[in-house]
Amino acid sequence: MTAKADLYDVIRRPIVTEKSTMASEANALVFEVAKDAAKPLIKEAVETLFNVKVKAVNTVLTKGKVKRFRGRPGRRNDVKKAYVTLEEGHMIDVTTGL
């Protein structure tokens, strides 16, 4: 089992967008996670930190966009997102803090 402080490094923040709100209707949540986090580690972190049972974890690695910053070309950071599906009867309110 991983130390609780390390689990806070795995789950960076919840992602609250229109798409993630639609996913929450299917009992799923979206989190930004560390790029090197594996699915079993993400599952352990969510179950330990939020005291819920996780049914499935799906991940997606979003490549950073090329944008202009103050007229100069730049690149946003890559982001790894985890779609976490919870067991029936379990829920997390992402609007409140930990």
pLDDT at 68: 92
In 3D space, the residue among 81, 88, 36 whose CA is nearest the CA of residue 57 turns out to be: 81
pLDDT at 95: 63
Within the chain, which residues score under 50 in pLDDT?
none
pLDDT at 74: 93
The DSSP line for 52-79 is: --EEEEEEEEEPPPEEEETTEEEEPPPE
The counts of H helices and E strands in the chain are: 3, 6
Domains of the chain plus CATH, in order, are 4-86 (3.30.70.330)
Query: Length of the chain, please?
Result: 98
